[in-house]
Chain A
Amino acid sequence: MEKKLQSPKWTTIYGFLLPGILLYLFIVLVPLAVAVYFSFFKWSGGLNKDFIGLHNYVQLLQDRKFWFSFRNNLIITLLSIVGQLGIAFALAVVLQSRWIRFREFHRTVLFLPVVLPAVVVGFIWNLIYSQHYGILNGLLDSLHLEGWIRPWLDNPKIVIYSVTVPIIWQWIGLYLIIFLAALQNIPEEIYEAAEIDGATGLRKVFSITLPLMYNTLKVAVMLCISGNMKIFDSIYVMTGGGPGISSTVMAQYAYTTSFGQFSFGYGSAISIGMIIISLGLILLSRRLMGGRAFE
């Protein structure tokens, strides 16, 4: 009986896995393969396709706009790693401490933005940033900081930072929950032992909390990179990639190339480029973070 429980028949295993695998196959792998196929063509939609081999990829490597949008993705990712993970970690530590009240309430409120659709987030922040009616400029005005008032979404030099703030704001809650779960796995005894040794506040955070949840942190960084490499919707709603291309990210560039210019072949090549770059960055982050052993 026991033995049977431990190793069910392989048909049972695959039977249960099958629906998931099929779904994954059709909504991820097949489209991916099709995109790879299309990326070898010059194709404007419709019936006529010209096979042009690797030409799209050669073009991609020399495409200033693509690398510019990659730069934008990098900025967003770096700011998010610092902002989302940093703030989430700080909040998690605070929420875990003994003196905090209404813990559930704080957790729920902080998690709320995560469940908002990105389009809604885009619209909300569009209103916040609005030049004439926006709450941000209104607030600055009432604080007599008129010098700080800016056309937040209209200045190409700052627009990429303006669109990053909502992204950071939205996803703090997710990492907060992940970190809280990790924190709860750290045995209380270790802290007690440390306290007996005279460790306080920050000392405990850096010597106990951080090392013990390092693996979770690694996963969080990976999620953060993959999430931000494919970021699209909230920026699309807020600026549409503008002014010009100054807030265009890779996904938006692939989108406008495909659906704005009818270059489906090149658009597919951009998407494949995105995947390769994202995978590269994730591998790089693993290499970098795995190299330092805390344990």
Chain B
Amino acid sequence: MRKRMALLAGVLLFVWALSACGTGGGQKSASGGGDSTASGGSSAGAGSSTTTIKLTLFDRFLETDADGSVIAHRQMIEEFKKEHPNVEISEESLQDATYKTKIKALAAGQELPDVFEMIGSDAEMFLNNNLIKPINEFLESDPEWKDGFIPSTLNDFTINGVVTGAPLTMLTTSLVYYNKAIFDEVGIEKFPETWDEFLSAIETLKANGYIPIALGNKDKWVAESCILSALGDRYTGTEWFYNLKNRQGAKFTDQPFVDALAALQELGMAGAFNSDVNSIDNGQHKALYYNKKAAMFIEGDWAISVLAMEAPQDVLENTRLAILPSVNGGAGSPAASSGGAAWSIAINANLEGEKLEMALELVKKLTSPEKARVMAEHNSVAATKTPDYDESKVVPLFKEYLDLSDRIALSPIYDAHLPPAVIETMNNGLQALIIQAITPEQLAQDIQKTFEELT
């Protein structure tokens, strides 16, 4: 009997705790609303020092990652907490693929966090559903902040004149990382400049027992974001892409795009990739490169800082950068690679008053020149213009990247621009394409069909 009473008491206590949490939350949000009106009447200083403002922040900056952007992010958050002791940030960081899913699920339930990282392709959907706050007026009222951004990054997040989020990084998603020592060993003197040279280099590497290009496409976005985005542009040219995106006549079934798909399949058929391409991920494909089993891998500039942290010293020293070679008869520039501001930081549309003010402060902190400097010193490029930084801290590879990026133009990253449904079809199709389970023509038709069904 006593046991049962104890159990009952326990259950009651639990229920009480739950209900207390519920009302607590309710009160807080109510008082939050009250604050904003109160601070309008009286002086804001007194109000802000006594009440705590709670902000939720969702991002992909996992503490376990070695990326320069993560290190800079952590540092900015720490500083922000010191500068604003009355703001309580509850942050949730998730791994890339998980994050994309979670944000979509939260958006569907209209429970997006106050401040969160947003990929370009989600922006339009979020905006149409009034889930995010346009930041135009905030940018206009703070010219210093606005001028800090590299202008093209803001364009990547402008939809019909509305700026949807503050760009975080300036990415190049398609860079070829190759091991110079391996190239020397098999007798390839310089990185191939034409497609034919590229294919023969692959042949040579294969004959010498190396995996020519390590590719881990299990998460499906790598082949599309890091290879096809750039390869496609070689064939179609950038104009075609915007023409297509704005539905002005261009189609995925147009010959140049089909040619691009065929070229990717050609790589697959030539045995350029490891045979388990669809069951390992991009972390594992870098492992193949570190172990000198593979001579190249293709990924974005974020891999530089990962390499700087993870790669064995000799591999890091021998690593050089290149972009995909030119193709036969393509309409695009051979001196281009896919890039832009793929990710931004967005503000929930429901924020008002002080909470909005603080959220805005946080966003500004996360896109500050100071952050750009920390990122640069850890081999990463922010979406804001980088102030002078300590060059002795960076690896030579990073300087090589900065040189390279000065010489090339940026073409659109497919998954930062196209609707999620199209990307889904494309990503799935590319897995099948590389292992010759589908023809380029068929895949082009599938993607076009998905694209047309969206209207």
Contact = CB atoms under 8 A, between A and B. Distances in A.
Interface in A251-287: 256, 258-264
B431 A45 contact: no
Given A242-B220, A256-B424, A132 B130 contact: no
B437 A243 contact: yes
A220 B224 CA distance: 44
B402 interface: no
B125 A244 contact: no
Which of A45, A129, A238, A246 counts the most B-chain CB atoms under 10 A from its CB? A45
A240 B101 contact: no
A262 B276 contact: no
B108 interface: yes
B420 interface: yes
Given A151-B276, A154-B277, A261-B420, A246 B125 contact: no
Contact of A244 (B110, B277, B293, B431): B431
Contacts of A155: 435
A244 B424 contact: no
Interface in B206-249: 218-220
A263 B453 CA distance: 11
Nearest to B218: A240
B128 A154 contact: no
A171 to B, nearest CB: 23
Contact of B276 (A132, A240, A260): A132
Contacts of B278: 153-154, 239, 242-243
Contact of A46 (B101, B125, B219, B438): B125
A240 B219 contact: yes
A242 B428 contact: yes
Nearest to B438: A244
For chain B, what secondary structure do more than half of its interface residues adopt (helix, strand, loop), or is it mixed?
A: loop
A142 interface: no
A46 B130 contact: yes
Contacts, number: 98
Contact of A260 (B130, B274, B277, B424): B424
A13 interface: no
Contacts of A241: 428
A132 B288 CA distance: 10
Interface string A68-92: 0000000000000000000000000
Nearest to B281: A240
Contact of A154 (B101, B424, B435, B438): B435
Contacts of B277: 154
A240 B277 CA distance: 13
A257 B455 CA distance: 17
B273 to A, nearest CB: 10
A259 B278 CA distance: 21
Contacts of B104: 45, 259, 262
B250 interface: no
Query: Which residue, of A153, A238, A243, has the highest number of chain B Cβ atoms within 10 A?
Result: A243
A1 B304 CA distance: 81
A129 B280 CA distance: 11
A46 B275 contact: no
Interface residues of A, number: 33
B341 interface: no
Interface residues of B, number: 33
A264 B108 contact: yes
Nearest to A248: B428
Contacts of A132: 276, 293
B110 A242 contact: no
Given A131-B276, A242-B220, A45 B421 contact: no
A216 interface: no
A156 interface: yes
Nearest to B275: A151
B435 A156 contact: yes
B408 interface: no
Contact of B279 (A47, A151, A259, A264): A151
Given A45-B104, A246-B432, A262-B421, A131 B438 contact: no
B105 interface: yes
Given A126-B279, A156-B437, A47 B420 contact: no
A246 B434 CA distance: 14
Interface in A205-251: 238-246
B220 A240 contact: yes
A130 interface: yes
A244 B128 contact: no
B334 interface: no
B131 interface: yes
Given A46-B107, A47-B110, A239-B279, A262 B428 contact: no
A48 B428 contact: no
A165 to B, nearest CB: 15
A154 B276 contact: yes
B364 to A, nearest CB: 27
18 contacts: A46-B110, A47-B130, A126-B279, A129-B279, A130-B276, A131-B279, A240-B220, A242-B278, A242-B431, A244-B431, A244-B432, A244-B437, A244-B438, A246-B437, A259-B101, A259-B105, A260-B424, A263-B421
Interface of A: 44-48, 126, 129-132, 151-156, 238-246, 256, 258-264
The 4 A-B residue pairs with the shortest CB-CB distance, nearest first, are A46-B129, A244-B432, A45-B108, A131-B276
Interface of B: 101, 104-105, 107-108, 110, 125-126, 128-131, 218-220, 274-280, 293, 420-421, 424, 428-429, 431-432, 435, 437-438
Given A44-B129, A48-B128, A260-B101, 17 more contacts: A45-B104, A46-B110, A46-B125, A130-B279, A131-B280, A151-B279, A153-B279, A154-B275, A154-B279, A154-B435, A156-B435, A156-B437, A241-B428, A242-B218, A260-B424, A262-B125, A263-B421
